[in-house]
Amino acid sequence: MTPHFAAQAGHQQKQQKQSHGFPKETHAFDLDTSKVLAFGLSRFGRLASMFSGRNDDLSELGSSRDPLLAYPESELNAEDDEEPILYAASFDELAKNHVKYDTVIWVSISLLLVLAWGIGIVMLLCIPIRRYMLQKDISSRKLYVTASEIVYKFSRPSMLFWRATTIEKCIPLSLVIDIIIEQGCLQSVYGIHTFRVESIVHGKAAPVDELQVQGVADPGVLRKVIITEASKNVQDFGKGWKPTSIIEEESLSRVGSLSDGRAVFKSPPKSWKVHHATLQRSIEVHHATLQWSIEVHHATLQWSTQGLIQGEMLLNKLGEVCESVKEKSMWRLARCASSNLSRSLRRRCFYTAAIPGPCIVHKRGTDILHDPWFNKDTGFPLTERDRLGLRGLLPPRVISFEHQYDRFMESYRSLEKNTQGQPHGSVSLAKWRILNRLHDRNETLYYRVLIDNIKDFAPIIYTPTVGLVCQNYSGLFRRPRGMYFSAKDKGEMMSMIYNWPAHQVDMIVLTDGSRILGLGDLGVQGIGIPIGKLDIYVAAAGINPQRDLDNLGWKEKSILSIVDEFMEAVHTRWPKAIVQFEDFQMKWAFETLQRYRKRFCMFNDDIQGTAGVALAGLLGTVRAQGQPLSDFVNQKIVVVGAGSAGLGVLNMAIEALSRMSGNNEMAVKNKCYLLDKDGLITKERKNIDPAAAPFAKDLKDVEGLREGASPIEVVKKLKPHVLLGLSGVGGIFNEEVLKAMRESDSTKPAIFAMSNPTMNAECTAADAFKYAGPNIVFGSGSPFEDVDLGNGKVGHVNQANNMYLFPGIGLGTLLSGAHIITDGMLQAAAECLASYMTDEEIQKGILYPSIDSIRDITAEVGAAVLRAAVEEDLAEGHGDVGPRELKQMSKFEKESSSWLTDNDFFGCQLDCTDKIPSSQKHDGCYFVFNKNIY
């Protein structure tokens, strides 16, 4: 809604009165007698028809016969254009039920009052009048959302024979705090919901219910539209703005609450720009001696300053305008402008090294020390200890961040030295404990240690140690991490999701605990997998750890309805969050992937991530054999393991092979063979899994083999180029199978033992090189040491781990703004990983890079995913970079990679401003200090 000028209000109201039949010279109450009589008779006729049992049809109030504003106090000039409506709610579907519901309430109250006072009898007699007024009220309601505000209009008869009272409420989206949908017991009978909008009101410390309405036909959709548009509004406001200096404590607290005060910047620039998409034209306010002008050009509100910017002057003038100009539009404008000014000062979470950002903390004393996100241990300087109430709670000596880092690494190396000769499992758990204690105490130091020593610590926080951690998690548990959803929470997940403190979430890892690695159903102890995955996201992709969400799911015979509710709840609060499904049983893994991949931004790492890493290894194997990639179509591939990972690898490999062979899918499938626990899968099998059915072989095509043939029979008969294990059965590639691979049709056969953890690997690296020969390419899911082959030769071990791909997939999708993850984006990631190694490294049998370069790999893979999203016209942009800029950058590989690595996610400073929701702020000071992470 566009506010009109205060000086023109009287003239406009005069024109409106003329348009509705009022004489030009008369006052609004000096009505023509004949018109009043006609108006009263029409009202009496409608009342009589209602008493006779004929109800008025409920019609849309916007019709020409029954205008919305019968006697409007309009806020718009006739020449002004309203903003386009993005979504309009409907009340017609529930109108009759709403009237019935209100009648029941009215009768109930009347009967109660009859017992106490006689007025209840009068109320019962007025039921027809009540129903009539409610019908007119419902038929006049209009609730719709524009790009900048929520508008609610309705016209209510104030008296039977007098004009209607028109009410209009406009709530700027930038002030909306929460939207609540409630339904009582009686409301559920009639399908009625109460739709509440909470927002910040100028001068109020807490949010208030600025809008409450009943009878919206589809409140969930309306809520999702409002939240989506409100998030866009806040993101558009203040784009590119970064604070360059520390803000005074008292000033921040005052500006943050919109009360009187001033915000003093120590070194302000000469001009400030505050972007606001809803202010599109110049506004002039003239009232008595107050003359104040605001110039708005192309959604940019500019203030020129000479010296210090004082928030007190601006807010005081806004207050004067609100008191002086009584029109609702100017009040809304002043409140919106003051709110957005203060919001801009709290904007953004990540900053580059060149422009450090302040960290606003609203905790004191031991609360700081118990929060690993804010705690710096003995690194707090004395000034911060005074401001945060920490003096005396810490040893007096201030220890630098670098010194703390050295101390921890010394302690870790001492642990390694003292545990030599002990069982490997107990040593790994001891290492995990010392890292977890640091994570619980100081997240900044934890991630710095993790990033600098990723090769040493990745096997501890991720595979293979994480499997052992999950098995013993009940004894290792110290403090909760992530969120837990169960079947008992069905129907409550929409409200539960708001219990998570972060306003923004970029990445969610979800598991139901039913198939943790190869260890089976570990239930709630499977939370260790999402925790480890998100630590890799932080270390490899630079994702803000405060915008990650670990999630543990549920166990039930049919989980789809529960997952449906969970996904709707997640994408209602965080529409752009990426959900990674992890370690679901094969049945649910494929079903959930097909169910959600076209609707939500999600992927299944077991199916698609493992497949991408395996495809990169297969392409690298072709290069290692000295053949062009086009020879991939001639490779015979035997996959042992028909679970979600094995089928995912086959699906992606067949898609790649089909593309290379001209989409000849049947010819490609004839080169792939699938075995499960019962052996070779053929069409003769009776109870075949539907997901594995497309890969079942006809016995005519595999002469000499039978249904259920064992791995040794298949390898001896087919002499495959590639033997790929994803069975989860340790040692299934025994000495006999490995020796049979010596007879492979390939000069350099490939053996991949990709099951996790180490005890479930199909074979070890040492056995593979010992029995299959030194001239093989070996890959594994768990880490193994390189094998000494003698004579100065080394058998290189390639860890085919998903961590090479999933951080890049998440990062590329996030920065592209794509709303879904397609097969083209996943194949681009796999092909990028396959091409990362040089020809010299490939000839040595090195298919995958070292874990030390994981950040560089993630950047390359993320750039490839981003370019694929642009090519498929899925990129919607991220931050200040829109889809056009992304499309232009994607034409140049170096430019897109450079932008991705220079993005805030790969920055050098981490700011915790958005850690605590604004609704949890309490009285007291805000304290400012910087916190380095990298």
- Tokens linked to 648: 């995912």
CA 479 to the chain's CA centroid: 24
Structure tokens at 652: 């992606």
930 Cβ neighbours under 8 A, 6+ residues apart? 356, 357, 358, 359, 909
User: What residue has token string 């495809």?
Assistant: 615
Estimate the crossing angle of helix 328-345 against helix 249-256, to 10 degrees.
Answer: 140
What is the rounded distance in angstroms from the CA atom of residue 258 to the CA atom of residue 129?
45
Integer Cα distance of 747 and 776 in angstroms: 8
Name the 3-class secondary structure at 285. Answer: strand
Q: Sort strands 548-552 and 483-484 into parallel, antiparallel or unpaired.
A: parallel
Active site residues: 462, 533
Residue 918: exposed, middle, or buried by beta-carbon count in 10 A (0-12, 13-18, 19+)? middle
DSSP codes, 852-882: GGHHHHHHHHHHHHHHHHHHTT----BTTB-
Q: What's the CA gap between 481 and 864, in Å, rounded? A: 32
Strands 271-275 and 300-304 come out as antiparallel
Inter-residue contact 589 to 604 (CB < 8 Å):
yes
What is the DSSP-derived secondary structure letter of residue 821? Answer: -
Residues 142 and 61 sit within 8 Å (Cβ to Cβ) = yes
Mean pLDDT per 10-residue interval, the chain, length 934 residues: 37 39 36 47 48 39 34 37 69 75 78 69 78 79 84 70 70 78 76 78 52 81 80 52 36 35 34 35 36 36 34 42 42 43 36 48 90 92 92 95 96 92 90 95 94 93 91 90 89 93 92 84 90 93 84 66 92 94 88 93 94 92 88 89 90 82 72 92 88 88 88 93 92 94 91 89 94 93 89 90 94 93 94 92 92 92 92 86 75 61 46 31 28 31
Residue tagged 């220890």 (tokens)? 399
Rounded Cα distance between 806 and 783, Å, is 18
Torsion angle of C-alpha atoms 524, 526, 532, 534, degrees rounded to 10: -60
Q: Report pLDDT for 233.
A: 63
Which residues, in sequence order, are bridge partners of residue 339? none
In the sheet with 300-304, reading across from the earlier edge strand, the strands are 271-275, 300-304, 296-297
CA dihedral 881, 883, 888, 893 (to 10 degrees): 80
For the chain, how big is the Rg over CA atoms in Å? Answer: 34
Closest CA to 265 of 282, 248, 278: 248
The CATH architecture that domain 608-800 belongs to is 3-Layer(aba) Sandwich (3.40)
Q: Minimal CA–CA distance to 69: which of 165, 171, 143?
A: 165
- Give, for 510, the enclosing helix (H) or strand (E): strand 507-511
| Domain extent listing, the chain | 6-169, 249-347, 608-800
- DSSP designation for 526: G
* Residue type (1 letter), 671: K
Q: What is the pLDDT of residue 74?
A: 35
Q: What pLDDT was estimated at residue 797?
A: 93
